[in-house]
Chains A and B, each alone.
Chain A
Amino acid sequence: MPGPWQDGALLVIAMERTRQGDPLDALDEAAALSSDSRKNTSLRGIADALAGSGNYTLALSTIDRIQGEGERAYGLSELALEQAENSDPSATLTVELAWEAALKAGNETKPYVFGQIAVTRAMLGDFAGAIEISANLNQDENAWVLQNLTAMMVEAGEEIEAIALAEKQDAPYLKASAFLGISRQLIEQQQAAKRKAENARTN
């Protein structure tokens, strides 16, 4: 099979091995990839899987193998987000490593890396830190950050602050995103309350 086709298949093998709980063998597959971008994609996936199984040391060393400062920052920010989603306390350290890597990579850092870092910080309860990052993001990136951030603020009981943040947005797209985040979280809470009431009635 010629190079690009072979690379495509090897990437899928690496991801499938990772999915099947065999990330160490997946590393061999990743090493055989000729394209840096596919190698990086594969290594990020393997690192996520390693972190998911609690092997943070190997997860971080896997990210070290990623080519390019900006790509490594991306790997770290994705890992931090994954950890935060799993309520893993290591997320606090990983998000700081991601932040340092993103700053060090400068222009090589993709905007969504900063977006991921902002959302991870918010998930960890650092709303001020998340707001600070979001203020410097481009509009496309900031829209989803604000949507997540305002939702988390409402969930944390900071609805007034979330509304203030939404009202502060001058750009229509950002204002809409922020109010959408607030609304979605309130709907979740409303529906959770309805379910609770229904359960109480039936029990």
Chain B
Amino acid sequence: MNPETLTKSAFLALTLLLSSQTAMPQQTPESGEIASFLHIAGAQLPNIDKNQQSSMASNIAGAQTRIGDLAGALSTVRAVESEEGRVFATGFVASAVAWQENVQLAIDLIQKSAAKNDQTKAVDYSFVAQQLAGKHAFDESLKVAQLIADGPGFFGKTNRLVETLMGIQTKQWEARDWAGAEATVKQALDAVERETADPYTQEFADTMPAGLYCEITNTLSREGNRTEASAVVERIYPMVAAARTSEIRQALLYQLSIAQINLGRFKQRSTRPSN
């Protein structure tokens, strides 16, 4: 596991573990006390290495928003030197605001965070959409995801959109909103089809759609939706057959094998048997 991923997962797991244990008798912490600690943390930002500023500010600003200190959170965001870092940190504020059910403010914050930086804004929209899906506010979640689709093009936009939609779909599936989940998968598949028909760059045009289908298959397989997952895998076979070079064919075969493995087909043939 990547140590950074570990950091996040360990902290999350830790929080869950500790919250499930019998806690010592404690007084309820006051927001003022917490705000003062976060203020101390935020005051360190100007002296923190530029590469670490953005993630630290994101976490501090997100926590400030959670305790209702939006002014403090925005001040923390402003302390980040790079514009991209400020946009990224805004996403943490916006997702906390969305969690508090002020979706319009969340969207406004992201839209006004910078004139450009569309790639990072898409990350922010994804945060907010996932947060709303976590609250089962699926209609609003999908509207926020649509902002990614409607936004300017950039390399990786379809990946971000598909990842966001599949994240929403998982929450719909968990909430037993089968029809909603099916419709969201269709949106994800439509996004891949649009990328196939009109790739942002030719460089990965031969392999990116297969990778996205593979990602969709993986999610569906983990949910136990094998029928839908198998149908998505079927979309990869013709790509292998139509590969323009042996290198592309190898890459597509790899994607196909990963999709099959995700389906639990460990000994599947790499091409469909002819009848």
Contact = CB atoms under 8 A, between A and B. Distances in A.
Q: Do A and B make up one complex? A: yes
Interface of A: 1-2, 5, 8-9, 12-13, 16-17, 20, 44, 78, 81, 84-87, 110, 112, 115-116, 119, 123, 140, 143-144, 147-148, 151-152, 155-157, 163, 166, 172-173, 175-177, 179-180, 182-193
B197 interface: no
CB-CB nearest 3 A-B residue pairs: A157-B24, A172-B44, A172-B47
A182 B59 CA distance: 12
A184 B262 contact: no
Contact of B6 (A16, A116, A182, A184): A116
A9 B59 contact: no
Nearest to A152: B18
17 contacts: A9-B261, A12-B262, A110-B3, A112-B3, A112-B6, A140-B52, A151-B15, A152-B14, A172-B47, A173-B49, A176-B44, A179-B38, A180-B59, A183-B38, A183-B41, A187-B29, A193-B28
Interface in B2-19: 3, 6-7, 10-11, 13-15, 17-19
A144 B11 contact: yes
Contacts of B52: 140, 143, 173
A180 B38 contact: yes
Most central of A9, A175, A193 by chain B CB within 10 Å: A9
Interface string B25-50: 11011010110011011101101110
Most central of B17, B19, B40, B42 by chain A CB within 10 Å: B40
Interface residues of B, number: 50
Contacts of B63: 180, 183-184, 187
Nearest to A16: B261
Contacts of A143: 52
A186 B257 contact: no
A85 B11 CA distance: 10
Nearest to B45: A176
A78 B38 contact: no
Interface string B132-169: 00000000000000000000000000000000000000
A153 B256 CA distance: 48
A143 B19 CA distance: 22
Contact of A179 (B17, B26, B40, B258): B40
A182 B253 contact: no
Contact of A183 (B34, B49, B56): B34
A8 B14 contact: no
Contacts of B3: 110, 112, 115
B67 A172 contact: no
A187 B67 contact: yes
Contacts of B28: 189-190, 193
Given A157-B24, A186-B29, A175 B66 contact: no
A124 B227 CA distance: 44
B229 to A, nearest CB: 13
B104 interface: no
B264 to A, nearest CB: 7
Interface in B97-155: none
